[in-house]
Chains A and B, each alone.
Chain A
Amino acid sequence: MSTVRRTASPRELRRLTIDRWRAEGSQGARITPHRALLSHRFPIRRMRSILILPVAYTLAIILFHREIVLLWSQVIRWSIELTDTYAQLGWTRTLGGLRLPMDMVWLDMSAGAPSPAQWWTCAAVTLFLALLSLGLPSRMLPIAYVLRVHAIVIAVSLLYFVLMPNSFTYSLSDHICMLLVMFLLLALLIPWIFALTYSVLGVTLANKALLTFLGVFFLLLFAPLHAFSHALVLHHGSLLYQPLLFLLMGVFPPLMAMVAFYSWAMTWPRGAA
């Protein structure tokens, strides 16, 4: 500092003084930068810990996807026995969202068009939900919107089964197969999503690894149970509920779970990253 003072020009000295005054607050207290001007450091070596986890999980899921699907089939078979449902379980080769052939569980359970009793019951419940959404107080508006979306989807399905009951192109087996394919693709995506949204922050490698493990482990365990719960709804309630299950109950619940895991991980102690 003394070197600076000896060699500084009057203009530089003025600048140094202004800089000192700028950070000096009332009664000599130091003024910290406003939070709008704060930013995090991003050391380049952090790239290693960002990339290593998703790459490892991607390779593992691709290499062991048949074993994962086999595990799913075992869980579904256990669910079939537990619920004492008549069903057949097999194995098929299907196409994922990326048009890549993959082996997948094939569950065959009976589910047809709704009977008149099922249709009228569903219509009455849908009408009740729609009316209920109109009568809710304004502070419950989000719930009202959710109810309306559900009612609209079900109403379209009800209308479809009135007009063209025999031309519904989806079966229970298609639905379960599609759902499981989506879960497998989601399991591939989740480590990358966490890498890009959580691992970029200054958290420890243990935190990153734990969050990624929790997300993928939850998805792999949740997928067959979730799919079988859909199968039970379609089996007992008819294909009338397929659009609702696909549009609103398919990947939404696990995605909400991922958001919950992320929120929880943000509360973990950061440690020395």
Chain B
Amino acid sequence: VNRSWCAFWLLVWLTQTPALGQSGANLVSAQSVSTVQRLTEPIPVALLLANPAGGLQSPLRTLLSACEYLLYLIVLLLASYMLRHYVFTLNRLFARQRHPYVDVDTATWPRITVFIAAHNEESVIEDSIAALLEVD
């Protein structure tokens, strides 16, 4: 689990695009922060969907794009797994819990049924069953 977690975050780290900080050259000083400025325009969502790595073309960017899609796939798988176990948890918490066995008086048994009460009888049970099968 630890290895998967580290690999997951390593992938997150690798695929975070440094395009986040492209506005770094246009800084305002600490004194003027009260007058908030919008320094960059948002990138159109359609462009980002078409090229998640930020619009830069190079073999490295292509590799990073592939990694990013792989990351989304891993996230999807993890989310599916989490959802599955969440449903299990809700079922255990709120659904009616059933006996793991069938009541003697509610089950539909054959016309002739033989019950064998056995506990720690692994050394003799085979002979007992064999003897019962030979009963005419």
Contact = CB atoms under 8 A, between A and B. Distances in A.
Interface in B36-88: 36-43, 45, 48-49, 52, 86
A91 interface: yes
Contacts of B33: 73, 77, 89-91
A140 interface: no
Contact of A91 (B24, B28, B98): B28
10 contacts: A39-B93, A39-B94, A40-B93, A93-B40, A99-B49, A103-B38, A149-B6, A169-B18, A247-B9, A247-B10
A184 interface: no
B112 interface: no
A145 interface: yes
A91 B37 contact: yes
B89 to A, nearest CB: 9
A80 B30 contact: yes
Q: What bracket does the count of chain B residues touching chain A fall in?
A: 35 or more
B6 A247 contact: yes
A157 to B, nearest CB: 11
B108 to A, nearest CB: 14
Interface of B: 2, 6, 9-10, 13, 16, 18-21, 23-24, 26-30, 33, 36-43, 45, 48-49, 52, 86, 90, 92-99, 105
Contacts of B10: 247
Interface string A74-86: 0001001000000
